[in-house]
Amino acid sequence: MSKTVIAVNGSPRKTWNTATLLARAIEGAAAQGAATELVHLYDLDYKGCVSCFACKLKGGSSGGRCAVRDGLAPLLEKIAAADALILGSPVYFGSVTGEMRSLLERLLFPYLKYAAGDSRSLFPRVLPTAFIYTMNVDEARLKEFGWDKHLANNARVLAMIFGAHEDLFAYDTLQFDDYGRYDAPMFDPAAKARSRRENFPRDLESAFELGARLAVGRDA
């Protein structure tokens, strides 16, 4: 039976850096025989966690899953049934987009067990996960700003809840198609174009390999 790999685009743009890398990742998964789907969060109508705590209610009917029924609910159900999950987001002010943050709240909190001990997860199995981040700064600037610590927390929680996680960082990405049209004098258009030519193809290959790894899974 083929595996199912879900990719989720947390960028408002459907054809730019994040979406392109996610599309390449699911190409890698498909090359291993997986069924794939790419979901664009900005197409969905939903909010973040509303603190109803239905997922934590003793004897409740939600079964440890988010009880809110809105545009995000079908995606949460697909993720729960998937064999692997790939998330993607540009880095805005050192973190993911608001839509991605809202997804993470709704996805992770219901499976978080309020109990001491080794296991803090209610998720019943290992679900390999990955996060693809795109950003218009290089790795040195990412660490200088401390953004790496914010993003590391996503990895920690995803690994805690789902059991397996890896990250892919695409640095110094091209933010605009024509830098001459925008008020952004801190960037050298020629340097950005060079980074796109030299680095982004490698990022695409890394994304393909990531998708292939997730599709193969632990039982290979």
Which residue's structure tokens are 């001990």?
117
Looking at the domain assignment, is residue 9 inside a domain?
yes
Residue 219 lies in a domain: no
How do residues 33-57 score in pLDDT, each as one tens digit? Answer: 999 999 999 999 999 999 999 998 8
- pLDDT tens, residue by residue, 56-84: 888 777 777 899 999 999 999 999 999 99
pLDDT tens profile 107-146? 999 999 888 776 888 899 999 999 999 999 888 988 999 9
Question: Residues 6 or more apart from 105 whose CB is under 8 A from it?
Answer: 48, 49
Better-scored residue on pLDDT, 180 or 111: 111
- pLDDT at residue 88 tops 50: yes
Mean pLDDT score across all residues of the chain: 92
Question: What CATH number does residue 65 fall under?
Answer: 3.40.50.360
**Domain assignment of residue 218, yes or no:** no
Contact predicate 31/109, CB 8 Å = no
Give domain status of residue 143, yes or no. Answer: yes
Residue 220 lies in a domain: no
Residue at 24 is within a domain: yes
H or E stretch including 129? strand 127-134
Q: Classify each residue of 5-22 as buried b or exposed e, where b means 16 or more C-beta atoms within 10 Å of its C-beta.
A: bbbbbbbeeeebbbbbbb
Q: Label residues 62-76 b or e (16+ Cβ within 10 Å = b).
A: eebbbbbeeebbebb
* Domain tally, the chain: 1
Q: Is the dihedral of CA 78, 79, 84, 86 positive or negative?
A: positive
Distance from C-alpha of 61 to C-alpha of 123, rounded to nearest angstrom = 16
Nearest by Cα to 4 from 85, 87, 86, 82: 82
**CA 3/CA 82 separation, integer angstroms:** 8
Per-residue model confidence (pLDDT) at position 191? 85
Whether residue 120 lies inside any domain: the answer is yes
Residue 54 lies in a domain: yes
Q: What domain range is 201 assigned to?
A: 4-213
What SS3 state is found at 66?
A: coil
